[in-house]
Amino acid sequence: MKLIVNGEPHAPAPDLATLVEQLGLAGTAVATALNGRFVPVAARAATPLAEGDRVEVLAPMQGG
Amino acid sequence: MNPLELYGRRFHSRLLLGTANFPSPERMTAAVHAAQAQILTVSLRRTAVGGEAFWDQVRGLGTQVLPNTAGCHGVREAVTTAQMARELFGTRWIKLEVIADDDTLCPDVVGLVEAARVLVAEGFEVFPYTTDDLGVAARLLDAGCRVLMPLAAPIGSARGLSHPCGLRALRAHFPDVPLIVDAGLGLPSHAAAVMELGYDAVLLNTAVAQAGDPEAMARAFAQAVSAGRTAYLADPIAPRDMAAPSTPVLGMAVLA
């Protein structure tokens, strides 16, 4: 089961909170979306991941 | 001078500054101070080294942040980005960009109105990046936007006021709506011209960030914004086609 995380293939994870932890980003300022839908921090643990899911993990960035 | 009021918050500075494309974080901080900016635009992107440090830096400046949806081309994409920004930056403010075309970066005004409606319903305070089109402006206000941000010229173009008549008409049509010119300014004189039209504020990024000396340019823009605002409040005279002597004609000697 492969995930697509920020456009790159990624090893499976049972849920979004675990994935963020695997990425070393637990507790950091990141926001997540699953298949184009926003998933709040509080809902990550209850958001299971399935094969082919597209996850976006976004961080603060400079902007105009 | 009366403060700028945006969604119930008051600011003495009428210069909003973007945070992108500065030569270094230190020079960005210097420019923010020189501009006396109280509102900074920010963005969110795929996790990269430096995101956390940047956010710490911005928080350290103690300004209001205005996250954007830069680069979004569709309603759903913009709405999702706004939702992520609200959680990440802890603000209901969103600078809503729905881009129609990558060459001009002009707004997709149909998508913009639709996205604004969705976001207002979700409790966002929307700053739509729009054109000077009066009909679109009316629809954005109808959707619940309480601020409008028309472009002066394409983003990053530094061309200044490409259609001053349109900006003037928008100001005249919506006298009580805060109007902020966003995008396309290159010189302090452009910012002064915008403020002389009665605009409430200007938003800059590239013109300051990419200047040889961003700090000095930020200071120059702040002075121009202040000068333009003062001039607007001072009620400028109307232009005329023919000369009007400023020195009295009455009492002129006959020497010829």
Cα gap B182→B184, rounded to integer Å: 7
Residue-wise pLDDT for B94-131, tens only, equals: 999 999 999 899 999 999 999 999 999 999 999 999 99
DSSP structure string for B157-191: -----S-HHHHHHHHHH-TTS-BEEES---SHHHH
Instruction: State residue B50's pLDDT score.
Output: 62
Q: What share of chain B is helix, strand, coil (3-state, %, to 5)?
A: 40, 20, 40
Cα gap A61→B71, rounded to integer Å: 13
The response to whether B85 counts as a known ligand-binding position is no
What's the pLDDT band for A23 if we cut at 50, 70, 90?
very high
Give the closest-approach CA distance of B127 to chain A in angstroms.
13
Cα gap B52→B49, rounded to integer Å: 8
Instruction: State residue A1's pLDDT score.
Output: 60
Instruction: State residue B51's pLDDT score.
Output: 73
Beta carbons of A61 and B21 less than 8 Å apart? no
The response to whether B74 counts as a known ligand-binding position is no
The residue to which tokens 């996250």 are assigned: B67
Q: Has residue B33 got a pLDDT over 90?
A: yes
Cα gap B183→B150, rounded to integer Å: 8
Q: What is the mean pLDDT of chain B?
A: 95
What's the pLDDT band for B2 if we cut at 50, 70, 90?
confident
> Known catalytic residue: B95?
yes
What's the pLDDT band for B253 if we cut at 50, 70, 90?
very high
Full set of structural domains in chain A with CATH: 3-58 (3.10.20.30)
Name the token pair of A4: 């697509």
Instruction: State residue A58's pLDDT score.
Output: 95
In this prediction, residues A32-40 reach a mean pLDDT of 97
**Distances in whole angstroms, Cα of residue A13 to Cα of each of A23, A29, A39, A48, A57:** 11, 20, 16, 8, 14
Cα gap B129→B112, rounded to integer Å: 8
Which runs of consecutive H residues, i.e. helices, occur in chain B? 25-35, 51-61, 75-89, 109-121, 134-142, 164-173, 188-196, 206-209, 214-233
A interface with B, Cβ–Cβ < 8 A, is 6-7, 23, 25, 28-33, 36-38, 40-41, 56-64
Nearest CB to A58 within list B21, B47, B68:
B47
Residue-wise pLDDT for B67-91, tens only, equals: 999 999 999 999 999 999 999 999 9
Q: Is the ipTM of this complex over 0.90?
A: yes
Identify the CA nearest to B217 among candidates B179, B183, B190, B193: B190
Check if the beta carbon of residue B222 is closer than 8 Å to that of residue B36: yes
Instruction: State residue B52's pLDDT score.
Output: 83
Q: Has residue A49 got a pLDDT over 80?
A: yes
What's the pLDDT band for B249 if we cut at 50, 70, 90?
confident
> How many A-B residue pairs are in contact by the CB < 8 A criterion?
97
% of chain B surpassing 70 pLDDT = 98
